[in-house]
Chain A
Amino acid sequence: MRRTVGALLRKELLVELRTLESVPGMSLFAVTTFVVFHFALNQNTVSGDEAAGILWVTLLFAAMLGVNRLFVADQDQGGFDAFLLAPVDRTAMLLAKAIALLAYLAVLELIAVPAFGLLLLAPPLSQTMPDLLVVLVLADIGIAAIGTLVAALAVQTRARDLLGPLLALPLLVPVVIGAARASSPLLVLTHSSGPQGRWLATLALYDLVFGLIAYAVFDFLLED
């Protein structure tokens, strides 16, 4: 299993490096969205709830771009068949794709979060980074699990670009709730407290439940 996931992941990252289909687009989208928010809100800086909201909505929508493209190359170039013919555990594809998506999200955030700090955020980012990192990681795992599952569902349907986000966004509302509520106290000027435990617990519970469910049902999406 580990070998298969490794092989798939290697191929996945290699293709992404060659084509650069997902990550640059996602990152650019995020930065542009911050600029749009500046004009839409008519504010120079934001903090607290507002800041958390803008950050997470933007990250979420940027993630949708990545989700949309996750299985497209395989679908269009017959990659599923090759994998299905191999004597391997099919859930390896879920793991490999989810890890890849996680990697794309990490790069996205590496670019988008500093950009956010630069463009819109009132308080400086540096003091909150360790806590914010925890929130980012927990939320990313949830987005990766659901994103991969939804991407696999949507890619074989007719309206795949539309259906992906439509399915994923309601499913990710608990992640938005958890992530935004957890980050909000981190993004205020008088930074005193860390994120509340209950929101981190919500995120962790979500990751666990949907991670397990995705693991259980993924096989059924691949077979014929």
Chain B
Amino acid sequence: MSSRTSPPEERSENPATPPQGSPNRAPRGFRTNTKYGRGLRPLSIATIAALPLALALVFFYAPIEAEEGFLQKIFYLHVPLAIVTLCGFVIGGLLAIVHLRTRDRQWDLRSYVAIHMSLIFGVATLITGSIWARGSWGHWWVWSEPTLVSFLIVMLLYATYQPLRFAIEDPERQARYASVFAIVAGAFVPLNFLAVRLSTEYLHPRVLGSSSNLPAPMAFTFLVSLVAMSLLFATLCSYELMAKRTRMLLKARSRTLGFR
């Protein structure tokens, strides 16, 4: 995208008069022809439909598990949260790769939102996991549960994402460095899980390790919950993206109009 400041015929031969600048030129890093919030309505509607459906299934359809009782139902919240969080982190890494290749800061924004949202979902995962552990095994934290442990490590790593960003002032460099981090951390997630899983003995009896052996009603409920959680993640990300872009557009417009 080359931006001529003035039509070729107007450019004077005499270097004494500098060419006119165009005040409304958008920064090269951001394309302004993206339609914002394009899929937002159908996404929101789908989420609003899926969530109560999932909840209804959890409370009324899925059978109460023999060993653990009612508390086991937190599994339908905890595991989808976990899966969506980890996917979110990996997606953040993939978006960062696109950013580095295209140098279009839109992708860095998407990467940031994905990771940011995953952090929030991740905290929820840890909390629900801890509640579950307390209910099932009597402790607020167990080291012998590899998924929980890997999760903690991953969260500790991503907790440095925002301090890293805010420690760099130049926005372009900030975006670049954040993308490098997102890629390294995204690759780290699966490797970390592998390593931790190797090193711990399972305390995990039932559902998490053996989700393939779930009876049909539970499996179905789990699937719906997973879909609902993914939709929630996607919708919240879209809202955050739209809010950020709108704010940036407003700032750019107000600057060209002369407000501070």
Contacts and interface: CB of A to CB of B under 8 A. Distances in A.
Chain A–chain B contact at Cβ < 8 A: yes
Interface of A: 149, 153, 156-159, 163, 166-167, 169-171, 173-174, 177-178, 181, 198-199, 202, 205-206, 209-210, 213-214, 217, 220-221, 224
Nearest to A162: B163
A26 B191 CA distance: 28
A214 B185 CA distance: 11
Contacts of B195: 173-174, 177-178, 202, 206
B177 interface: yes
Contacts, number: 84
A151 to B, nearest CB: 13
Contacts of A178: 195
15 contacts: A153-B177, A156-B168, A158-B169, A166-B160, A169-B156, A170-B188, A174-B194, A178-B195, A202-B194, A206-B195, A209-B187, A213-B184, A217-B183, A220-B180, A221-B180
Given A170-B157, A213-B183, A220-B100, A163 B176 contact: no
A158 B183 CA distance: 22
A144 to B, nearest CB: 15
Given A206-B195, A210-B188, A217-B184, 9 more contacts: A153-B177, A157-B164, A157-B167, A159-B163, A167-B181, A170-B156, A177-B199, A213-B184, A217-B183
Interface size bracket, B side: 20 to 34
Contacts of A163: 160, 163-164, 167
Nearest to A224: B173
Given A153-B164, A157-B164, A177-B196, A209 B180 contact: no
What is the interface of chain B mostly: helix, strand, loop, or mixed? Answer: helix
Q: Which of B168, B187, B199 has the most CB of A within 10 A?
A: B199
A194 B185 CA distance: 32
A221 B160 contact: no
Contacts of A209: 187, 191
A171 B164 contact: no
Nearest to B154: A170
A40 B164 CA distance: 33
B187 A210 contact: yes
B192 A174 contact: yes
Contacts of B153: 170, 173
Nearest to A216: B183
A198 B198 contact: yes
B191 A205 contact: yes
B183 A174 contact: no
A159 to B, nearest CB: 5
Contacts of B192: 173-174
Contacts of B181: 153, 167
B177 A159 contact: no
A158 B163 CA distance: 10
Contacts of A205: 191, 194
B179 interface: yes
B169 to A, nearest CB: 8
Q: Which of A157, A158, A169, A214 has the most CB of B within 10 A?
A: A157
